[in-house]
Amino acid sequence: MKQILIILFALSVLINHCSFADEGMWLPHLINRNMKELEKLGCKLTAEDIYSINKSSLKDVVVNFGNFCTGEMISAEGLLLTNHHCGFSSVQTHSSVQKNYIANGFWAMNKSEELPNAGLTVTFLVRVEDVSSNYFNNGILVNNIDSVSDVLQRNAIRGTHYTAEVKSFYERNAFYLFVNETYKDVRLVGVPPSAIGKFGGDTDNWMWPRHTGDFCLFRVYAGTDGKPADYSPNNVPLQPRHHLPISLKGIRQNDFAMVMGFSGNTERYLNSQGILLAYNQSNPTKIKIREQKLAILAAAMKQDPAIRIQYASKYARISNYYKYFIGQNKGLKALNVAARKEEDEASFYRWVNADEQRKKKYGTLNEGYEKAYHTYEKINVPYVYFEEGFFGIDVFLEAYKASSALSAFISTGDVAAVQKYKPSAEKYYKDFDKATEKKVFIALLQSYKDGIPESLQSSFFTTTLVKKYKNNMSKYADDVFSKSIFTDQNRMNAFLNNPQISVLEKDPAFQTMQVTLDEFRAKLGPYLGQVYGQLDDLNHVYMEAYLEWKKSGLHYPDANFSMRLTYGSVKDYNAKDAVHYLHQTHLQGIMEKEDSLNDDFIVPGKLQHLYANKDFGNYADSTGNIPVCFITNNDITGGNSGSPVINARGELIGCAFDGNWEAMSGDLVFEPKLQRCIAVDVRYILFIIDKYAGANYLLKEMTLK
């Protein structure tokens, strides 16, 4: 028990100290420990204004949007703001050649015109509890973590409609229970055309200066009792516990800025070997595979408007992290991240070896990491090829989803399982073009075969492909696309209407997926399990030691898609030699970038007209121009897309949507001089809603300051 008390004391001390006010993804329920730092930066709020279970607070404003982004409530009638790219999948689902909401935008002019979205959810945080003591026995982490979590989760929500989840922090040195409330009726209210919401496209992605109106609006609905309910025309707009007032005052350099959202994943405590593994193996492999797929999709989308709509969301997802991996490797090299980590590790081990007790507890860590990564380096590239290459082929990915969904049918003949799979199949075929998928199929499967040693390939590649198809990938593709239920919707519908296990057993895509998955697990699974288990145990001990070593340093937990708060300031930066970036961009910059021959920089005619006539309403700043985007030094990562940027008085000033190119290594190490959060200015959002879309009725339900 002494060990856990030391750990918990260390955590309480460490959270009080902050070496950089702009660094750190803090847990809102513990933010009272940081309030002096917030006050120094100009924050006027109290800790209870930010997180409270007794009264409405900012935690009641911020939502988990769809389990992949963040959103915020901006009216008492359930109106929700998030990023254009977060809502893009919903927009794409509702789009067609006849109703191209991607190109033209969509605006409901009253609540009856709002569009429902099957499967889209919004989750509010109800409360957080520290349950760490349940996971340690005499100071040692228990083995049955999952069982303990199950009991705690069940007990926390008994008799309620809530859900609960225990998450580990500091590499399983602390545990917190999150109680949540999830709403399932979420309707699309408004989205600007991609020429606004995605202005700059792939060219400007991860870049500053930025001129992107990356926002869209949804509305959350509840049953007549105010509780979550499935979609029904009888549902009513949710009345949230709190919504953000919106500031029209604008921002200035060094103004306080706070971001709250569901920060996705960081690995700030990853050691130098892990960083080198990403730089030398994981990232280059992912870049190579995604580049192949993107080239095929881009060519198809360019030739056919229908395919362009079908693949718009898919292409954006693949492209976003394709560029991210490129930028991360560039940052890791330019900022010498691995060498800096090695220096930190050398200091750590000198501290360990300076004391016999510490040496006894932590002295084998370095050797343990060496052994684990020695094995990891041998299997990492094949694993990335399997994940990004083999399962980057949607035909095989859908076959895998079907095998999981239909497991009861396959094992027992339970036809009910087939009915449950139907929605997945319908969604899959909505965005499926046979000719395009066949090209991807051939290219990525050949890349997978060429990219891993023959000893790790499945018998399909070493035997079936050689004997039956003469080692010709195109011939195999012809067979799959002429016979498989996963390459033809009519064949899939025939199977769903009259399910027979023999259809799956004979399906050439299903067979290849199953044998490749099974043999991959048999050949690499034990090594992967061993490596992951070793690293989990090593990281747990290392973090315990690290917290003891750095008693007065900055030690927030790595992001894990739990609600986090980051605080800092509106801040310009020096990007490189002789390049200084200001903190704000304007509508003038959009016109300066305008290029009618480049899809990334087309400016809608109406926006040009508004600019030419200076029809800016009340949204211009002191320069007489419309502000578009701004930057702060807040610490964000994936999952923070759509997060509110909040001023010192708790008012909305922007919506976060990106990081900057110069600090793409930020998920692994924070760069205080370079790292910036890019946000769309709320005044540009209001300008587009009001002047461009003519949906100013929405402003009437907002609280404008």
User: 509-545, pLDDT tens digit by residue?
Assistant: 999 999 999 999 999 999 999 999 999 999 999 999 9
| Delimiting residues of CATH 2.40.10.120 domain(s) in the chain | 15-126+182-267+558-701
End-to-end, the C-alpha distance of the chain in Å comes to 52
Residue type, 339: A
Give me the pLDDT at residue 11, please: 44
Rounded CA-CA distance 343/67 in Å is 37
* List 168, 641, 643, 665, catalytic entry: 641
Residue 15's pLDDT band, with cuts at 50, 70 and 90, is very low
Q: Catalytic annotation on 214?
A: yes
What CATH topology corresponds to 15-126+182-267+558-701?
Thrombin, subunit H (2.40.10)
Count of other CB atoms within 10 angstroms of residue 492: 23
DSSP letter string over 427-460?
HHHHT--HHHHHHHHHHHHHHHHHHS-GGGS-HI
**What crossing angle do the helices spanning 508-549 and 394-405 adopt, rounded to 10°?**
90
Stretch 54-71: mean pLDDT, rounded? 97
**Can the peptide bond before residue 228 be classed as cis, meaning omega within 30 degrees of 0?**
no
Residue 21's pLDDT is 46
Three-state SS string over 354-382 comes to CCHHHHHHHCCHHHHHHHHHHHHHHHHHH
- For the segment 184-204, what is each residue's pLDDT rounded down to a tens digit? 999 999 999 999 999 999 999
pLDDT at 218: 98
Instruction: Name the least confident of 15-29, 402-416, 585-599, 645-659.
Output: 15-29
Residue (of 254, 216, 263) closest to 635 by Cα position? 263
pLDDT score, position 554: 63
Higher pLDDT, 551 or 246: 246
Q: What is the identity of the amino acid at 434? A: K
pLDDT score, position 626: 98
Q: What is the pLDDT of residue 5?
A: 42
Q: Which region among 3-7, 36-40, 301-305, 601-605 has the lowest average model confidence (pLDDT)? A: 3-7
Name the catalytic one among 29, 84, 85, 242. 85
> How far apart are alpha carbons 208 and 150 in whole angstroms?
45
Closest by alpha carbon to 456, among 370, 555, 522?
522
How many Å apart are CA 601 and CA 593, to the nearest integer? 6
Nearest CA-CA partner of 149 in 129, 170, 135, 169: 135
Query: What is the reported pLDDT for 17?
Result: 35
Q: Which tokens sit at 82?
A: 């998030």
* pTM score over 0.85: yes
**How many whole angstroms separate alpha carbon 636 and alpha carbon 640?**
6
Give the closest residue to 325 by CA, choosing from 358, 279, 356.
Answer: 279
- What letters, b where the CB count within 10 A reaches 16 and e where it falls short, cover 72-88? bbbbebbbbbbbbbbbb
CA angle at 278 for the pair 276 and 282, rounded to the nearest 5°: 135
| The pLDDT value given to residue 19 | 39
212 secondary structure, DSSP code? -
In Å, how far from its chain's centre is CA 496?
A: 33
Q: What one-letter code names the amino acid at 578? A: A
pLDDT tens for residues 546-578?
Answer: 999 988 766 899 999 999 999 999 999 999 999
Mean pLDDT over each residue of the chain, to the nearest integer: 95
Predicted confidence at residue 51, as pLDDT, reads: 98
Given this model, what pLDDT does residue 551 score? Answer: 80
Nearest to 26 by CA among 552, 540, 558: 558
247 vs 359: CA distance, rounded Å: 55
> 17-26, 208-217, 492-501, 669-678: lowest mean pLDDT where?
17-26
Is residue 558 part of the annotated active site? The answer reads no
* pLDDT of the residue at 553: 65
DSSP string, 142-180: -S-HHHHHHHHHHHHHTTSS-EEEEEEETTTTEEEEEEE
Nearest to 216 by CA among 240, 232, 196: 196
Determine which one of 60, 214, 255, 558 is catalytic: 214
Q: Which residues of 420-454 are buried (b: 16+ CB within 10 A; e: fewer)?
A: ebeeebeebbebbbeebbbbbbbbbbebbbebbee
